[in-house]
């Protein structure tokens, strides 16, 4: 999102709110197991953060930016925990599939 050139204060406030909104969307998606949406929002969130901090924060936007960043930092631990749990579950599933595949291979080899 590009900031409106006419009002950098408003632009930074909007970008900060967008950054927080994307984080909230990511958390909702993670809670429901929609990992494609989490990944999509994360890419957008990285761009929003880059845009927000690409130029100095105008004095009139500092409190909004501080608030949004503080809220984001409150949400991130739960988001990271959910992502970590999903990654561990996916890893366990892959290990189970590999073990099942080995069992099928063993059965096929010895049943001839």
Q: Which domains does the chain show, CATH number per domain?
A: 8-110 (1.20.58.380)
Q: Tell me if residue 10 falls in helix, strand or coil.
A: helix
pLDDT in tens, 6-22: 899 999 999 999 999 99
Three-state secondary structure of 83-109: HHHHHHHHHHHHHHHHHHHHHHHHHHH
Q: How confident is the model at residue 99 (pLDDT cuts 50, 70, 90)?
A: low
- What average pLDDT score do residues 65-86 get? 96
pLDDT in tens, 26-57: 999 999 999 999 999 999 999 999 999 999 99
Q: Tell me if residue 41 falls in helix, strand or coil.
A: helix
| Torsion over CA: 96, 26, 56, 71 (sign) | negative
Is the separation of the CB atoms in 45 and 26 below 8 Å? yes
């Amino acid at each position: 999102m590009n900031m409106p050139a006419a009002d950098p204060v408003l632009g930074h406030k909007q970008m900060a709110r967008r950054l927080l909104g994307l984080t909230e969307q990511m958390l909702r998606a993670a809670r429901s197991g929609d990992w494609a949406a989490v990944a999509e929002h994360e890419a957008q969130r990285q761009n929003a953060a880059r845009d927000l901090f690409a130029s100095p924060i105008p004095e009139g936007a500092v409190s909004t930016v501080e608030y949004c960043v503080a809220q984001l930092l409150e949400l991130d631990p739960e988001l990271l925990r959910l992502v970590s749990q999903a990654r561990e579950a996916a890893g366990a599933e892959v290990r189970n599939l590999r073990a099942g595949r080995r069992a099928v291979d063993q059965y096929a080899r010895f049943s001839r």
